[in-house]
Amino acid sequence: MYESLVNFVDYCNCITIVASRVNELRERRTLDDEGIRELLESDDESLAEELFRHAREVAVGQFGPVVWLRALIEWSNVCRNDCYYCGIRRSNRALPRYSLTRDEILSCCDQAWRLGLRTFVLQGGENPPAAEKLAETVAEMRASWPEAAISLSLGELPGETYALLRRSGANRYLLRHETAKPALYARLHPAGMRLENRLACLHHLRALGFKTGMGMMVGSPYQTTDDLIADIRLMEEFRPEMIGLGPFIPQHDTPFRDIPAGSASTTLRLYAILRLMLPQAWIPATTALATLRPDGRTAGILAGANVIMPNFTPASRRSAYALYEGKARPGAEAAETLNQLKQELDTIGYHV
């Protein structure tokens, strides 16, 4: 009896401490490492809900109950790299390779614009010569839709190619850093890929005037809570305008095929923590999260995310953009189900 009472008091004290961490994070927009660890690792779901509530309030205070839609166009699955976690890595011979033509890209943009989307996101493997050529299409996109935001995610490119893409009219660039720790970076990527190059690219992109995004997988192989705290510190310092993060999901043609997926709960907590640290950031509720749990998009919005990226890639190509297992499924991601997505958001009190 006495022992259970002591346990109960310890439990209450623990809850109180963690709840005060949430308040401190919201008020000061930062928190010490131990506080972040508690928010990431606490197994009390009611505390996670409290964290999400605060993040949601901050997001709604910044943007209103609004979710921003970005039209995702997976323009090519050709990549020169061999990242161990990625389904479109160079060594995956099982994958049919494609690159969308100029006409296909413009057609995707046209469809998205007609449906009311005002941001186009061109995402693809790292392929510098193709990226240079893509600048011509970006210039056409800019001429056809002067008011649209054009966001790119094409990996590490030469500085002159970034500059060309910027001059052609692109104004946002997402380059996930994947981890702030060089040692972990080396376990996720083959020799020759270096974290310092990636960070130099991010600084260069920002200097060129791109709104810049970074982020990482959650629960990637070998990742610890300390690694996630280092990621948070890196983003706290760099202050990206966009944050792209989702759970690691294994893909069957990669060396990490047998490693379990990352945690949806930890991903949601990171959305919330980063919302409280960087209230103005664009944080997508990612496709990877929606792959892991069916309500991933709305759960992400309720944890402080404020962006969803419906997929406008032609349906015939989507299965070949197999970054991870289960991704290329139809459903709320597809443009044709945009209305369904709006209804889902309506049920939680948000609109686009």
Residues contributing to the site for ligand SF4 (CB under 6 A):
79, 81, 83, 86, 88-89, 125-126, 155
Could you identify the residue written with the tokens 């047998």?
258
122: helix, strand or coil:
strand
Q: How far is the CB of 128 from ligand SF4 (least distance, A)?
A: 12
Q: Give the nearer residue to ligand SF4 in terms of CB position, either 83 or 338.
A: 83
Instruction: Report how far residue 28's alpha carbon sits from residue 194's, in angstroms, rounded to the nearest whole number.
Output: 33
The 10 Å Cβ neighbour count of residue 197 is 11
Question: Residue 81 or residue 137: which is nearer to ligand SF4 going by CB?
Answer: 81
**From the CB of 81, what's the least distance to ligand SF4, in Å?**
4
The residue whose two tokens read 């992109």 is 205
Residue (190 or 314) nearer to ligand SF4, CB = 190
Question: Under a CB-based contact definition with an 8 Å cutoff, are residues 335 and 111 in contact?
Answer: yes
Environment class of residue 305 by beta-carbon count within 10 Å: exposed (0-12), middle (13-18) or buried (19+)? buried
Phi, then psi, of 239 in degrees rounded to 5: 55, 65
CB of 89 or CB of 177, closer to ligand SF4: 89
Residue 179 or 265: which CB sits closer to ligand SF4? 179
- Tokens 């346990």, located at residue: 7
Q: What is the DSSP letter of 336?
A: G
Least distance from C-beta 52 to ligand SF4, angstroms? 29
Shortest Å, Cβ 130 to ligand SF4: 12
Strands 172-174, 211-214: pairing kind: parallel
- Minimum separation from the CB atom of position 110 to ligand SF4 (A): 26
Between 220 and 266, name the residue whose CB sits nearer to ligand SF4. Answer: 220
CB of 284 to ligand SF4, least distance (A): 17
CB of 155 to ligand SF4, least distance (A): 5
Distance in angstroms (rounded) separating the CA atoms of residues 177 and 212: 11
Q: Where does residue 63 rank: exposed (0-12), middle (13-18), buried (19+ CB within 10 A)?
A: middle
Cβ distance to ligand SF4 smaller for residue 155 or 247? 155
CB of 208 closer than 8 Å to CB of 253: no
